[in-house]
Amino acid sequence: MKELDRKTHWENAWSLRPSESLSWYQSVPERSLAMIRQAGIRPGDAIIDVGAGDSVLAEQLLVQGFNDLTVLDVSRRALDRARRRLGQRAEDLCWIEADVTQFGPTRRYAVWHDRAVFHFLVSAADRSRYVAVLDRALAPGGQAIIASFALDGPERCSGLPIVRYGADSLDATLGAAWRVIEECREVHETPGGAEQNFSYFRIVRTTAEPVDSHQQPHGVNL
Ligand SMILES: C[S@@+](CC[C@H](N)C(=O)[O-])C[C@H]1O[C@@H](n2cnc3c(N)ncnc32)[C@H](O)[C@@H]1O
């Protein structure tokens, strides 16, 4: 899917229905919060939620005392919804409108969180761009948490084809520089009552230091 088509798809998706009725909606992102805790970070450490949509994850992390939070999404409408929901507290977060595969991070994060975004990258070229961005964005010693539909999960999400992952296939996809150190499953109940099997992966670098190759920012800071 081309960058522009992707943006159009997601702006449409975020214009049609209330957040609480979208299939991926969670009132409490329990598994994400648990895995972020597992990453062993401190409240001042930087966390980025890529493809955050209108997720309440950042809001709940704020409540837990994390104060260096960035929310990124390709859809301006999704970010606007999240900002409206947070009201005044939106000012405590950094907001970036960007396609993650084109994002040029200007700083590093201790935790990279992605629930149901990487799995939309069905082309090897997009996946390799994503991994290059992840490499630039993640601090030395940082951890990534990527959640996708599990191997026995649905084959489509938001009407789009996706790639389902298990620990072995994600390891192979990310390449030798990355290692999955934890996999947890979740049966997500959609607002419509369907069950979707998710796998959450905690990932670290196998190499000690990332190559320092920061680019010019590509993405709109809101
Ligand atoms: C299935 S929703 C998941 C939203 C959120 N992570 C959650 O768990 O509630 C996918 C989200 O990723 C965003 N998205 C999809 N492809 C993206 C991309 N290439 N770059 C940035 N955001 C993307 C969409 O706009 C949407 O908000």
Residue 49: CATH number of its domain:
3.40.50.150
**Residues contacting ligand 1 via CB (< 6 Å):** 6, 10, 24, 51-53, 55, 73-75, 78, 99-101, 115-117, 120, 157-158
- pLDDT higher for 218 or 10? 10
- Please report whether residue 26 resides in a domain: no
- Please report whether residue 32 resides in a domain: no
- Please report whether residue 142 resides in a domain: yes
- Please report whether residue 25 resides in a domain: no
Q: Please compute the mean of the pLDDT values over residues 166-178 and round it to a whole number.
A: 97
- Please report whether residue 27 resides in a domain: no
Kindly tell me if the per-residue pLDDT of 212 is higher than 60.
no
Q: How confident is the model at residue 207 (pLDDT cuts 50, 70, 90)?
A: confident
- Look-up: residue for tokens 């949509």? 53
Q: Please compute the mean of the pLDDT values over residues 208-216 and round it to a whole number.
A: 53
> What is the phi/psi pair of residue 69, to 5°?
-120, 135
pTM of the model: 0.94
- Please report whether residue 137 resides in a domain: yes
Q: Please compute the mean of the pLDDT values over residues 156-171 and round it to a whole number.
A: 97
| Ligand 1 pocket test target in 2, 3, 6, 10 with most atoms within 8 Å of CB | 10
User: Rounded to the nearest whole angstrom, what is the distance from the C-alpha of residue 73 to the centroid of ligand 1?
Assistant: 6
* Residue-level pLDDT at 217: 41
- Please report whether residue 91 resides in a domain: yes
* Residue-level pLDDT at 152: 98
Percent of the chain with pLDDT over 90: 91
Range of the domain at 113: 3-15+39-221
Count of structural domains, the chain: 1
Report yes or no: 92 and 69 within 8 Å, Cβ to Cβ: yes
- Residue with the nearest Cα to atom 3 of ligand 1? 116
User: Rounded to the nearest whole angstrom, what is the distance from the C-alpha of residue 212 to the centroid of ligand 1?
Assistant: 27
**From CA 57, how far away is CA 49, in angstroms rounded?**
8
Kindly tell me if the per-residue pLDDT of 216 is higher than 50.
no
Number of C-beta neighbours around residue 197 at 10 A: 15
- Residue with the nearest Cα to atom 16 of ligand 1? 117
- Please report whether residue 29 resides in a domain: no
